[in-house]
Amino acid sequence: MDEIIALIVDDSKAACAVLGRLLKRFGISSQSVHSAQEGLAYLESHTPDIIFMDHSMPDMDGLEAVEIIKEQPNFAATPIYMFTAKSGNEYQEQVAKAGANGVVSKTLELQALKQVLSQHRLVADKSTQETSDDVMQEQRMQMWLESFLENKIMPSLAYRLDHSTRETREEMLQNSQKLYRDSLSFHMQQQKQLVNQLQAEKDALAASYEWSRIQFHRRLTISLSVVLLIVCGFFATQWYSIKHFATQLESKQQSMLAQLIDLTQKQSELVKDNVEISEKITESPNRPTQIYDQSGQPVAKIVSFSMDKSSLRARTNTGYFFNLNEGEIEAYIGPLYFAAQGCFGTRFVESEAGYIFTSSNGELMYTPDDYKPQYKDVYSMFDKEGNCVETEMSVVAVPLFANNYDITGVSDVALQVR
């Protein structure tokens, strides 16, 4: 089997190192770059099997980089995951819109990483590599500590240490020069006086060193306190900004939902007006106006025809609508959503209320006409191929129920036009 290569794009060297070690547990080699521009340059001559992209980087936003990569045909099928601490439904939507496959949290849960790799067949499902909570906690703490030391403490500490060392060196040099001059000046004096003077200089140097050491520790303590206050202030500001943004987003979402409901009501009124107009038009003796079931009973009236007359729209005697194509009620071809995992429970679809469809297995389904479309949190779905996919999003949808003749007024999939 060819070597599997993962590209890690993150401006934090500590984060790249920790993720690289975890990927190595699954037999995956990794290549790390520390900016989006470096990542794009790397992809000009390399084709990795999977890409992990940080969100916040100094030169370019991670989502912008994903959009640029996905525009290239060579990487259209390459899985890309955002490697970030960001989460939430809105961010998931931004990730999907940019073309990324999902999010791998910087908390680095090994099972979650394994699931992502298994999903793209980069690691065998039967792999038994696991780790204890203590090891994971140690790795996460190590990544945080390395990042904090690298970006916050080390630059300030190096500057202070270099400055204090330079001052001490200059003072020692000056004192040594003074000692040398004094030695030459009093070379002929009594040996006892020279020894006493040397002892006095030694004491002065010791006191100077002790003073420098105390000043260094004091400055270091002050610097750490200032850094801590800055970090706390930054996180507090971010928290308030996120809270304010969430409030604005919720208000905007409610406003959009109200507009959508109002638009749906207006659309329903427009449909009713269209029905009345169509009923007047279809009263022509040369055009069919009724739809009958297999037993010959009238079940609906024709509302309108398509431009090529290949399909028509009808309204049942109980007020439900359906499209008739080649003598059969049209099937619903969109995704089916579920409010529970595992594609279990009530089905939801992105459709108007009061419509009749045919399912993939030929059964009649309907959306209740008294249910207004609204936002619904869903956690699994059937895609167009009929596969159950775990997801987490919010969609404007209505429930889809099995047909009830007493409600819809229709019991047959195949109908006749007369």
258-284 tens-digit pLDDT: 777 777 666 666 656 555 555 554 455
pLDDT at residue number 227: 92
Confirm if 28 and 117 have CB atoms less than 8 A apart.
Answer: yes
pLDDT at residue number 270: 64
pLDDT at residue number 133: 47
Q: How many CB atoms lie within 10 A of CB 151?
A: 13
Cα dihedral 399/404/405/411 (nearest 10): 80
- In three-state secondary structure terms, 363 is coil
Any idea what DSSP says for residue 284? S
pLDDT at residue number 417: 87
195-232 tens-digit pLDDT: 888 888 888 888 888 898 999 999 999 999 999 999 99
Closest CA to 78 of 52, 39, 57, 115: 52
pLDDT at residue number 379: 95
Span 414-418, mean pLDDT? 87
In the chain, residues under CATH classification 3.40.50.2300 are 5-129
Q: What is the bridge-based pairing of β-strands 80-84 and 50-53?
A: parallel
For the chain, what is the total number of helices (H) and then of strands (E)? 9, 17
Any idea what DSSP says for residue 106? T
Tokens of 384: 């167009």
Cβ-based neighbours of 294, under 8 Å, separated by 6 or more: 412, 414, 415, 416
Span 162-179, mean pLDDT? 77
Whole-number average pLDDT of the chain: 84
126-161 tens-digit pLDDT: 544 444 444 455 555 655 555 455 445 655 665 666
Tokens of 210: 């002790």
Tokens of 351: 């459709």
pLDDT at residue number 256: 79
Tokens of 12: 């934090």
5-129 carries CATH number 3.10.250.10: no
pLDDT at residue number 151: 47
Position 151: which residue type? N
pLDDT at residue number 333: 85
